[in-house]
Amino acid sequence: MAQKLHEENYDVVVVGGGCAGVAAAVSAAKNGAKTLLIDAGSMVGGELITGLPVDGALNARGEWIVGGVLTEILDEHKKLGGYIGPVNDWRLIWYVCIDPETMKIAVSNVVRRAGVNVLMYSFAEDIVMQNGSITGIVVVNKQQRTLVRAKVFIDCSGDGDIAMLAGAQAMISNDLGEYQPLTMLFRISGVNKTRLLDFCVDHPENIAVGESEWMGSDLTPRQCAEKLREQGEAAIFFKGNGPLIQDGIKAGDISPTALIGIIPVSNERNEVSVNTTRIANVDATDTKALSNAFGGLVDQAWQCISFMKKRIPGFENAHFAGLSHRIGIRETRRICGDYILTRDDVFNAKKRDDGIGKGSHHIDIHQDGIMQVRIPVQNGGSYDMPYQMLIAKGINNLYIAGRCMSADREAHGSARVMGPCMAQGEAAGLGAVLSISSSDPGNIRNVPISTLRSGLKAQGAILDGTH
């Protein structure tokens, strides 16, 4: 049946309410743009509310490299309580430990305070284009279809859905057609972290430590474990090729995995999040395949909980506390932008005059079974992400930020984590506002980089002054 489309008008429309989309929408709205944030789910925040820590917000030296909207959200978390903050894993990275339940409120508070219009339970179904620009998108929800018009659009959908509808080119997987594993985070409460940390000191052969010159490469594994115990947080990575996990795999007590990553989320509840489940080589843009993966991931999670209670001291009396609200997806489409971030940019910690944000996470490519590529950024430093990687090639008014960013697979393996994704989103949000106020409204290629960088710094973004 033919339907008459209701029509709404905004300055900036952001599709995808994950961490990049939140940062983009808040940045645009705080700079005066009438902004709409669209998400298919029941709440915004994306990976900020799954149980993951914020990776890539500090470099291996412990220097903060991402600020701005991320800082505002973390400050809101601190006000609400339960914030743990930066933790050193004595392996490769510093990460910021957060409570996913409190974060649901913190993110919402910041988004509402900025004046962002939020439309949840909604899908961007189609687009309208004219002369190389997107003039509107068709949004579907229980009010049927709405044509949403704007001057600038920001694709933070993760899969590059708007970019693909607009005819952008995408990079997918690698020459072998491999995809990094899907995962399902789960949480365990009632953990005795003293016993757990003592176990790590007594059996350091099981933990991944000392993989960076800035994190214990000059120490023995036991000395690294002692540093973890001194820190006092249950931030531990049991390695897939260590005897603990290998013995469990041989006994059928746990599925093959590269790691059991234990991440503190709440000291009040003695609760940790666990990153270990994996189903590799699934194209997560195939909705049926993604849906079918849920059962297998949950089975792995339940098996791992039993394994941990049985084999890891500190978990004997612990109990299941919750699942992430969605399956974790590491890679699908990478949209081709005016610039493609490269492995060399990342590995060599490349700095640049057109940088709009930083990243520092190691090149991190998970593989099937126990395999994982981990290559640290040189000198414990950070790299700059250029403005041009945010611009979808061939489209006048479309930014791409977050997991669908313009990067080769190795660079994406670093920049896909939350810290750099939020920096990308924040830059796109401000860039959108600057483009609207230019002599050619909506042409995002005409944004003066120096003006954008000055504006980002005024918002608290970190663009220079770090290794």
**CATH code assigned at 78:** 3.50.50.60
Confidence band for 1, pLDDT divided at 50, 70 and 90: very low
Average pLDDT on 202-216 reads 95
Domain match, 145 and 93 both: yes
432-455 residue pLDDT tens: 999 999 999 999 999 999 999 999
298-309 residue pLDDT tens: 999 999 999 999
Domain match, 233 and 319 both: yes
Tell me the C-alpha distance between 26 and 36, whole Å.
Answer: 10
CB 65 within 8 A of CB 59: yes
Q: Which pTM value belongs to this model?
A: 0.98
What does the DSSP 8-state code read for residue 366? E
Burial 162-201 (b: 16+ CB within 10 A, else e): bbbbbebbbbebeeeeebbbbbbbbbbbbbbbeebbebbb
Domain-located, residue 349:
yes
Domain match, 163 and 228 both: no
How many other CB atoms are there within 10 angstroms of residue 426's CB atom? 31
Strand partners, 6: 146
Domain match, 137 and 262 both: no
Domain match, 295 and 230 both: yes
Domain match, 196 and 308 both: yes
Final residue belonging to a domain, choices 286, 301, 323: 323
Domain-located, residue 280:
yes
How many other CB atoms are there within 10 angstroms of residue 337's CB atom? 28
Residue 2: what pLDDT?
A: 59
Confidence band for 394, pLDDT divided at 50, 70 and 90: very high
For 63, the domain range is: 6-176+331-458
Q: Is the dihedral of CA 401, 407, 411, 416 positive or negative?
A: positive
Residue 3: what pLDDT?
A: 67
Tell me the C-alpha distance between 377 and 92, whole Å.
Answer: 9
CB 155 within 8 A of CB 162: yes
Tell me the C-alpha distance between 216 and 332, whole Å.
Answer: 34
Strands 333-335 and 319-323: unpaired
The DSSP string of 302-351 is HHHHHHHHHHSTT-TT-EEEEE-SS-B---SEEE-BSS-B-HHHHHTT--
Tell me the C-alpha distance between 415 and 341, whole Å.
Answer: 9
Domain match, 313 and 369 both: no
Structure tokens of 287? 């909705």
Final residue belonging to a domain, choices 298, 323, 348: 323
Domain match, 167 and 212 both: no
Confidence band for 5, pLDDT divided at 50, 70 and 90: confident
Domain match, 309 and 364 both: no
Q: pLDDT averaged over the chain?
A: 97
316-361 residue pLDDT tens: 999 999 999 999 999 999 999 999 999 999 999 999 999 999 999 9
Tell me the C-alpha distance between 196 and 202, whole Å.
Answer: 10
Tell me the C-alpha distance between 2 and 201, whole Å.
Answer: 68
Q: Of 22, 16, 62, which is closest to residue 41 (Cα–Cα)?
A: 16
Separation of CA 206 from chain center: 27
CB 51 within 8 A of CB 183: no
229-242 residue pLDDT tens: 999 999 999 999 99
Domain-located, residue 465:
no
3-state SS, residue 115: coil
Q: Is 245 exposed, middle or buried (0-12, 13-18, 19+ CB in 10 A)?
A: buried
Question: How would you list the strands of the sheet with 12-15, edge to edge?
Answer: 117-119, 35-38, 12-15, 152-155, 398-400
Q: Is the pLDDT reported for residue 270 higher than 80? A: yes
Q: Of 400, 425, 460, which is closest to residue 23 (Cα–Cα)?
A: 425
Residue 88: what pLDDT?
A: 95
Average pLDDT on 374-394 reads 97
Question: Which residues in 394-452 belong to E strands, given as ranges?
Answer: 398-400
What does the DSSP 8-state code read for residue 279? B
3-state SS, residue 18: coil
Tell me the C-alpha distance between 316 and 47, whole Å.
Answer: 29
Place of tokens 């001057």: 151
Tell me the C-alpha distance between 29 and 26, whole Å.
Answer: 5
Q: Which residues contact 464 (CB under 8 A, 6 or more apart)?
A: 351, 355
Looking at the structure of the chain, the number of domains it has is: 2
68-120 residue pLDDT tens: 999 999 999 999 999 999 999 999 999 999 999 999 999 999 999 999 999 99
CB 162 within 8 A of CB 404: no
Domain match, 212 and 96 both: no
Residue 383: what pLDDT?
A: 98
Q: Of 298, 318, 324, which is closest to residue 189 (Cα–Cα)?
A: 318
Place of tokens 């250029």: 386
Domain-located, residue 464:
no
Percent of the chain clearing pLDDT 90 (strictly above): 97
First to last CA, the chain: 59
Domain-located, residue 467:
no
Tell me the C-alpha distance between 418 and 397, whole Å.
Answer: 24
CB 407 within 8 A of CB 347: no
3-state SS, residue 380: helix
HSE-CB at 97 with a 13 A cutoff on CA atoms is 23
Domain-located, residue 466:
no
Q: Of 398, 223, 209, 189, which is closest to residue 308 (Cα–Cα)?
A: 189
**What are the C-alpha distances in Å from 399 to residues 71, 166, 417?**
23, 12, 18
Average pLDDT on 123-131 reads 97
Domain match, 298 and 370 both: no
Residue 72: what pLDDT?
A: 98
241-253 residue pLDDT tens: 999 999 999 999 9
Final residue belonging to a domain, choices 289, 323, 357: 323
Domain match, 257 and 281 both: yes
Confidence band for 4, pLDDT divided at 50, 70 and 90: confident
Q: Is the pLDDT reported for residue 379 higher than 80? A: yes
